[in-house]
Chains A and B, each alone.
Chain A
Amino acid sequence: MALDSQKTDGFKQVGTRPDRPDGVDKVTGRARFGADMTAPGMLWGAIVRSPHAHARIVKIDTSKAEAMDGVKAVVTRADFSTSVAPARGMRGEMWNTLENVMAGETALYDGHAVAAVAATSALAARDAMKAIEVEYEVLPHVTDVDKAMAEDAPVIRADTAEASVPEGMHPNVVRYHESGHGDLGAGFAEADLVVEEHFVTEATHQGYIEPHACLATLGGDGKGELWCCTQGHWNVQKVCAALLDLETSQLRVTASEIGGGFGGKTTVFIEPVALALSRKANKPVKVVMTRSEVFRASGPTASTSMDIRIGMKKDGTITAASGVFRCQGGAFPGAPMEFTAMCAFAPYNLKNVSQIGYDVMTNRPKQAAYRAPGSPMAAFAVESVIDELCNKLDLDTIDTRLKNASKEGTQASFGPKWDRIGLVETLEAAKAHPHYSEPLKPGQGRGISCGFWFNHGGETAVSLALSEDGTAQLAVGTPDIGGSRASMAMMAAEELGIPYENVRCTVVDTASLGYNEISHGSRVTYASGLATIKAARDAVKKLCARAAAKWGIPEDAVKWEDGCAVPSGPNAGEHDPMPLAKITAKMGATGGPIVGHFEATPEGAGVSFATHIVDAEVDQETGKTSVSRYTVVQDAGKAIHPTYVEGQFQGGAAQGIGWALNEEYVYGDDGRLQNATFLDYRIPVASDLPMIDTVIVEVPNPGHPYGVRGVGETSICPPLAAIANAVSNAAGVRLTQLPMSPPRILRALGTHD
């Protein structure tokens, strides 16, 4: 529903491109990230990890390590909560997290934590870690999603499946999703052409450059302090408290600057371990993951196996579509199969559609969110089939998508009716873009794809305190993962009518605001932005009241204009505008501090769509793909700071290019991860990529005071498919498995003609 007070033009700050407030800190090396903090008397922690994919822990002997110089504490599972209990599916998530943070009876994947040690130096901790002796009984393992569903697959954990899982499925299938509408049989019967295809994607890692790091202090009195790089410190507070049997409020968590997260820092890994070590040693403990630990033990995304079937008429009308999505998310429930299923056909207005999802456990690390979890894989499969249909029926790929596009009032493939959405606008902008009409050079192929993400609101608290000199301190609780402090300060300045530079936005600790949900779901500029605007409006109301009192007129006879209280209405009388700084200068004597607040759970996060255009060339001899041109078109609702919106578009596209062409978790027959370094898990480097062109479409979100939609995640939804379509068109053969690495492309070329 539209907010009555939505402002869509006449902005002074919004839409400009000021310097970010943390810019100088970040270009001078002053900014403090997770690993940059120290404390007096600090120890270093190191974690012992299972070298086996699946093994019973028979015995852990810590005596040798404990006897070493400088070693102050060793912890195992016995040092964590015993009151957190397992339960089926996601209801057992707290126990799942505990089990993942420190293994209980069984190591469930290569890299699973089994013990930890704290010592007086990083080297001493590492030496002691090697002296901890763990006896394992190796068990059969499975790392592939399809194999994990097969009858003879080893059972990862019995009795984990939710009741919704169909009878007769392997116990590794733990959750099930089904949605859709219409009559598939009738729909497919109406089609002139039906294309059916099987798709596979490998697990990829978020690949943030900053490894997980934290500094923990916890006393025997249950009072603690935690500094860590996280996307959500209130969540860290809540989970750590539960895992260590603490009272939530006794643990104060401060979010450091964060060196990338992309969903991977929405949970805890080392934080509870550092706290447990600190409690035992009674000293601060710092734990920093190595890169190989990041790959082996922090969450990658799910890998998938998918079947898609779409029927189309000669004129391009889709008559029916169905998909089966099997996602493995490691040794715990939680693979985002429902999102995969729900996003798959979201761009299209379909009469007959069905989607089925399976959440499958394997002996791999517990998956974590990765930018629009599940959606990129679904788009890869669905948009590849649409491309194939267009090729076979000789249809224009954008016109065909336009013909079937979801719009305001049509029914989404997963149920609800769409509110105002901007898919058609992105398709039209893509069609009008010079990139789309540029002739291809020999050997090049062009690919198009749409992408969709829900976006999210979530619990949000913000406070805005005015200073005597008329400047403002804005306290937000959502870690700044891509320049959000600039956008928040802009929105506050817009409402208050003061310069951007006069607002200082800080991400504050858990003791300073009410609960703030994690910076995820592309929610920050939407929800913290909405909260900032409302908090500023709350402050403005209080400012107007002070002016009204001074003038001796009713509060509703004062309005706020350009940073001043001004009389308004027939009975207000004549008064000179009273600037903000004049009111705040006297606030101590006129009623005390002026602070605006907002605490709520905004529900109006508008969904977002994108259309990407890619040109790619395939070297027929080596199988190497080069991306020669890339254009992102995406609906941002309203771009607060357009430069950072472009940055989100470009970053998502680049990650998508890596996922499409190179990145994958490679497991050996022994179930061990084979490529836990940046050398072997190759993310795109500067020389791999072209410039990435961006078009910001603005179809205002009715649920935000300025029309903002989240932009961070949708940008990674189309690239896998867009690149696969470009590569398939360049190579003349359909690629159905990611990544499209040179060996896979050569294999595909070999089977062609």
Chain B
Amino acid sequence: MSKIHVTTTINGDEVEFLCDPRETMLDVLRDRLGLTGAKEGCGTGDCGACSVTVDDRLVCSCLMLGAEAEGKEIATVEGIATEEKLHPLQKRFIEYAALQCGVCTPGILVAAKNLLERNPDPTETEVRYWLAGNLCRCTGYDKIIRAVMDTAAEMREAS
């Protein structure tokens, strides 16, 4: 079957790949580009473990075709930390134990970062609804919500 040639930007780097028309963006990231940070929890858009941003919009990469990445700017969990420095959200997630198994964490970090870029001062309810598309089975969300709220406060103070 003939493959599609795609040129896109991922975490700031230009990337080219060939993909089957049926392959999702998540398949491409994980199986063609070696970016296994995004996880497949469901493949049906229900768990958020595969969250990435496409031109700053939060999407489930399992619901997007690889071919649709042409000309887009894609950001994944691998791009959140800059060189040696963790993003304040990443630091706070470790400090607060906002992860137990950590399989939901990449998606939740991508989603939370996207929220704070839009709304630096969210209420608890806003955080809970923004993250309602990201399932976590381990934590009961308590420590995740606290980590996001406190990071937001810290980032507001720092700016």
Is A15 positioned at the interface, with any CB of B under 8 Å from its CB?
no
Given contacts A483-B97, A686-B127, 7 further A-B pairs with CB under 8 A are A32-B36, A257-B102, A260-B100, A643-B96, A647-B138, A647-B143, A653-B140
Contact with B along A17-33 (1 / 0, CB 8 A): 10110111011111111
Chain A residues, Cβ within 8 Å of B46: 291, 677-679
Chain B residues, Cβ within 8 Å of A687: 125, 128-129, 131-132
Q: Shortest CB–CB separation between residue A37 and chain B, in angstroms?
A: 9
Contact, CB under 8 Å: B36 / A678: no
Pick the contact of B104 from A32, A209, A647, A650 — CB < 8 Å? Answer: A209
Contact with A along B1-39 (1 / 0, CB 8 A): 000000000000000000010110001001100011111
Contact with A along B40-80 (1 / 0, CB 8 A): 11111011010000000000000000000000000011101
Which residues of chain A from 688 to 712 have a CB within 8 Å of any chain B CB? 688-689, 691-692
Contact, CB under 8 Å: A28 / B77: yes
Q: Shortest CB–CB separation between residue A694 and chain B, in angstroms?
A: 9
Q: Shortest CB–CB separation between residue B92 and chain A, in angstroms?
A: 9
Pick the contact of A691 from B40, B131, B145 — CB < 8 Å? Answer: B145
B45's closest neighbor in chain A, by CB?
A679
Contact, CB under 8 Å: A26 / B105: yes
A304 CA to B144 CA, complexed, in Å: 33
Contact, CB under 8 Å: B132 / A123: no
Is B81 positioned at the interface, with any CB of A under 8 Å from its CB?
yes
- The answer to whether A27 and B141 touch (CB under 8 A), given A290-B43, A481-B101, A686-B131, is no
A679's closest neighbor in chain B, by CB?
B46
Which residues of chain B from 84 to 139 have a CB within 8 Å of any chain A CB? 86, 90, 93-97, 99-106, 109, 125, 127-129, 131-139
A291 CA to B48 CA, complexed, in Å: 13
Contact with B along A667-689 (1 / 0, CB 8 A): 00000000001110001111111
Q: Would you list 16 pairs from A and B whose C-beta atoms are within 8 A, ordered by A residue?
A: A17-B97, A19-B94, A29-B76, A33-B39, A208-B103, A209-B101, A259-B39, A259-B101, A261-B101, A291-B41, A650-B139, A678-B135, A684-B140, A684-B141, A685-B135, A689-B142
- The answer to whether A28 and B142 touch (CB under 8 A), given A260-B103, A683-B135, is no
Of A23, A26, A290, A692, most B-chain CB atoms within 10 Å? A26
Contact, CB under 8 Å: A679 / B44: yes
Contact, CB under 8 Å: A123 / B41: no
- The answer to whether A210 and B39 touch (CB under 8 A), given A647-B138, A650-B143, is yes
Main secondary structure of the interface of B (DSSP, over half): loop
Contact, CB under 8 Å: B101 / A654: no
A34's closest neighbor in chain B, by CB?
B103
A74 CA to B79 CA, complexed, in Å: 40
Residues of B near any A CB (own CB < 8 A): 20, 22-23, 27, 30-31, 35-44, 46-47, 49, 76-78, 80-81, 86, 90, 93-97, 99-106, 109, 125, 127-129, 131-146
Contact, CB under 8 Å: B135 / A27: no
A123 CA to B19 CA, complexed, in Å: 11
Q: Shortest CB–CB separation between residue A14 and chain B, in angstroms?
A: 16
A644 CA to B142 CA, complexed, in Å: 12
A262 CA to B35 CA, complexed, in Å: 27
A20 CA to B143 CA, complexed, in Å: 15
Contact with B along A33-62 (1 / 0, CB 8 A): 101100000000000000000000000000
Contact, CB under 8 Å: A260 / B101: yes
A262 CA to B136 CA, complexed, in Å: 13
Q: Shortest CB–CB separation between residue B10 and chain A, in angstroms?
A: 12
Contact, CB under 8 Å: B139 / A20: no
Is A207 positioned at the interface, with any CB of B under 8 Å from its CB?
yes
A23 CA to B91 CA, complexed, in Å: 9
- The answer to whether A28 and B90 touch (CB under 8 A), given A686-B144, A686-B145, is yes
Chain B residues, Cβ within 8 Å of A259: 39, 41, 101-104
Chain B residues, Cβ within 8 Å of A31: 102
Pick the contact of B36 from A24, A29, A210 — CB < 8 Å? Answer: A29
Pick the contact of A651 from B100, B102, B125 — CB < 8 Å? Answer: B100
Chain B residues, Cβ within 8 Å of A20: 94, 97
Contact, CB under 8 Å: B141 / A291: no
Contact with B along A306-334 (1 / 0, CB 8 A): 00000000000000000000000000000
Interface size on A, residues (CB 8 A): 59
Pick the contact of B109 from A27, A261, A689 — CB < 8 Å? Answer: A27
Chain A residues, Cβ within 8 Å of B135: 209, 678, 683, 685
Q: Shortest CB–CB separation between residue A681 and chain B, in angstroms?
A: 9
B44's closest neighbor in chain A, by CB?
A677
A258 CA to B106 CA, complexed, in Å: 14
Pick the contact of A123 from B23, B39, B42, B86 — CB < 8 Å? Answer: B23
A257 CA to B99 CA, complexed, in Å: 13
Contact, CB under 8 Å: B132 / A209: no
Contact with B along A636-665 (1 / 0, CB 8 A): 000000011011101101110000000000
Nearest 4 Cβ contacts at the A-B interface: A29-B37, A259-B103, A654-B140, A26-B102
Pick the contact of A36 from B36, B140, B144 — CB < 8 Å? Answer: B36
Pick the contact of A24 from B94, B96, B136, B139 — CB < 8 Å? Answer: B94
B34's closest neighbor in chain A, by CB?
A38
A608 CA to B7 CA, complexed, in Å: 57
Chain B residues, Cβ within 8 Å of A686: 127-129, 131-132, 134, 136, 141, 144-145
Of B38, B95, B103, B134, most A-chain CB atoms within 10 Å? B103
Q: Shortest CB–CB separation between residue B45 and chain A, in angstroms?
A: 8
Chain A residues, Cβ within 8 Å of B37: 28-30
Q: Shortest CB–CB separation between residue B27 and chain A, in angstroms?
A: 7
Contact, CB under 8 Å: B94 / A23: yes
A17 CA to B97 CA, complexed, in Å: 9
Chain A residues, Cβ within 8 Å of B39: 33, 35, 209-210, 259
Chain A residues, Cβ within 8 Å of B80: 27-28
Chain B residues, Cβ within 8 Å of A206: 137
Chain A residues, Cβ within 8 Å of B105: 26-27
Contact, CB under 8 Å: A692 / B102: no
Q: Shortest CB–CB separation between residue A519 and chain B, in angstroms?
A: 12
